Amino acid sequence: MKTVKLTQQREKDLRYIKATMAMEDMPLTERDTADVRDCLSGEVSADEKIKQLVAQYTVKVMK
């Protein structure tokens, strides 16, 4: 995974997101953090990332 460079404000946003998730007992994995970085940097939109994750975790039922 490559690390995307964020502005100071976006780094602060990321720390806030990580802290909030940790308080809810849902700490972010390195992969989660990378996905959030991608969205915060504008490399990928949140909508596109959601579509990717849904496609990745959707179970296809055979008939």
**What total of structural domains would you count in the chain?**
1
* Structural domain includes residue 15: yes
Q: Which residue range(s) make up the domain with 47?
A: 8-57
- 8 A C-beta contact, residue 22 and residue 29: no
* Structural domain includes residue 30: yes
pLDDT in tens, 10-30: 999 999 999 999 999 999 999
Taking the model in full, what pTM does it have? Answer: 0.80
What per-residue confidence (pLDDT) applies to 40?
95
* Structural domain includes residue 3: no
* Structural domain includes residue 13: yes
What per-residue confidence (pLDDT) applies to 63?
82
* Structural domain includes residue 63: no
* Structural domain includes residue 32: yes
* Structural domain includes residue 62: no
* Structural domain includes residue 22: yes
What per-residue confidence (pLDDT) applies to 3?
73
Instruction: Identify the burial level of 29 via C-beta atoms within 10 angstroms of its C-beta, where 0-12 means exposed, 13-18 middle and 19 or more buried.
Output: exposed
Q: Which amino acid is at 30?
A: E
Q: Within 13 A of 32's CA, how many CA atoms are on the CB side?
A: 10
